Structure 1
């Protein structure tokens, strides 16, 4: 199934995405008020029982949000495609362990909601990525059973403010956490529909121009390794997200660098999931 979270008139809801619209699940499953509770309660079968009902909402009636609105943890993996390490041109060996940072939920918007270029920088960049949504939590998860802990997969544009990555000596947190600079969506595709162990392709386009294109077969740290590695030091919780890394081709690596500007449209397409699309606008200070 494809599961979405949304707002309608400022009221949050969640449901099943279909070709004909959204089957609204809000208030339809006892004790389940949102996507996070659906995942935590392992209530997918109850949602599936409603999948044959008629859609009650059209996509233009709602604003899609990140599929899990406020996960406890959003882990982000850096330099995870084999040729990404060569982009740095520093002569370093391939990494032995994943690079890792975290992002806040407020740094992301949903599908078809504009990314915001902040007032303090013009260096807004894109990074198309596949994102894991944790279903069954755990600590010290063996790699051989790690994929069983995945609820589903979604897409991320892990938008970055490049000059703010260099504000700290050893961290990238500032440039990765500007409000509304990234996006997640449009929905979660559950693992009964998409095998997380299968090979997937990822393509990022800016104004229709292909900027990134790669396959999960080129990942240095595949999904099962990432789950096992992260759970060595942190308990994974239902609804947590792991943003699994971006291929080569971000704007910072172009010569000269090319930044996103108001009016641009970024699309990240992943086979088996769909396309996450966002325009770009300048920040409006409240």
Structure 2
């Protein structure tokens, strides 16, 4: 897969010389926007809430880079989101993996993750000592810009502020530690990643048919398109907002294609030194290595 160029507007959260910040990633380097707007928008979460991407772009126009991209350590793009909600089984081939003879469900399967369970682009995914079964799941992430409850499908995309990528890293045996829930296996510290940046949402065409691919050490493991999702972006927002109020900065992970390591025979788990890349048209590449905890 070769995405057709990088998006022009790439807003990243990062740390530089140990200090958190955010800025615009350009071909020349990083324009340090939080240095200029910390009083008005301390983090990208406040930028999302105020729909201020346009103002930031206007300010950045013509400014030189403040430092090279190599000087920053990427963080998850939206710091301290109130909610990270994940959609399971949202591609047809993924549903067939379960071999239970059941058709696709009528409603999305959902679970939550905590911000601490994710790390940023370029940082290692952490394999915990409790299990070697660290797996990957490449996904499109959408960030809520305008909050709401019981949002109609026809209005749902008006509530999207930005897009990003996620590797919804999972400790497979820990999602079976109890009868009904998967929370444990989905929330080990730094087992997944979100990033590298936020790409502002512009129109429905930006979401309609995104090519999504996951590679491990250069080998394609997952590949599908958002046009094939069982539950559309509109339906996901509508359904989630039925039972919980969405607020600016909430992150929704919209499901992974078939091809995770658990589906190989025998399963193929991530190990230290592996490189995992999640790539999507119009968004970019989220790249992480793998390391053991401690």
Q: TM-score, normalised by structure 1?
A: 0.97
Task: For residue 35 of structure 2, give the secondary structure of its aligned residue in structure 1.
Answer: coil
**1:233 equivalent in structure 2:** 243
How far did residue 194 of structure 1 move? 8.1
Tell whether 2:47 aligns with 1:38. Answer: yes
Task: Say which of 142, 158, 174 aligns to 1:132.
Answer: 142
**Structure 1 Cα separation of the partners of residues 193 and 204 of structure 2:** 21
Task: Say which of 202, 212, 221 aligns to 1:192.
Answer: 202
Residues 270, 290 of structure 2: 8 Å contact kept = yes
**Structure 1 Cα separation of the partners of residues 236 and 91 of structure 2:** 13
Residues 147, 197 of structure 1: 8 Å contact kept = no
Tell whether 2:210 aligns with 1:205. Answer: no
**1:23 equivalent in structure 2:** 31
**2:99 equivalent in structure 1:** 89
How far did residue 9 of structure 1 move? 2.1
Residues 154, 188 of structure 1: 8 Å contact kept = yes
Task: For residue 262 of structure 2, give the secondary structure of its aligned residue in structure 1.
Answer: helix
Task: For residue 27 of structure 1, give the secondary structure of its aligned residue in structure 2.
Answer: helix
Structure 1: gaps (5+ residues): none
How far did residue 17 of structure 1 move? 1.2
User: Cα deviations across residues 86-128 of structure 1 (Å, max 9, x unaligned)?
Assistant: 1011111210000000000000000000000001100000000
**1:67 equivalent in structure 2:** 77
Task: For residue 237 of structure 1, give the secondary structure of its aligned residue in structure 2.
Answer: coil
Structure 2: gaps (5+ residues): 1-8
Task: Say which of 265, 284, 290 aligns to 1:255.
Answer: 265
Task: For residue 22 of structure 1, give the secondary structure of its aligned residue in structure 2.
Answer: strand
Q: TM-score, normalised by structure 2?
A: 0.94
How far did residue 197 of structure 1 move? 3.5
How far did residue 27 of structure 1 move? 3.3
CA 1:24–1:195 in structure 2 vs 1: closer, same or farther (change >3 Å)? farther
Is 49-58 or 214-223 further displaced after alignment? 49-58
Residues 157, 183 of structure 1: 8 Å contact kept = yes
How far did residue 205 of structure 1 move? 0.3
Is 39-48 or 186-195 further displaced after alignment? 186-195
**1:166 equivalent in structure 2:** 176
User: Cα deviations across residues 147-194 of structure 1 (Å, max 9, x unaligned)?
Assistant: 111011000000000000001110000000000000000001101388
**Structure 1 Cα separation of the partners of residues 58 and 202 of structure 2:** 14
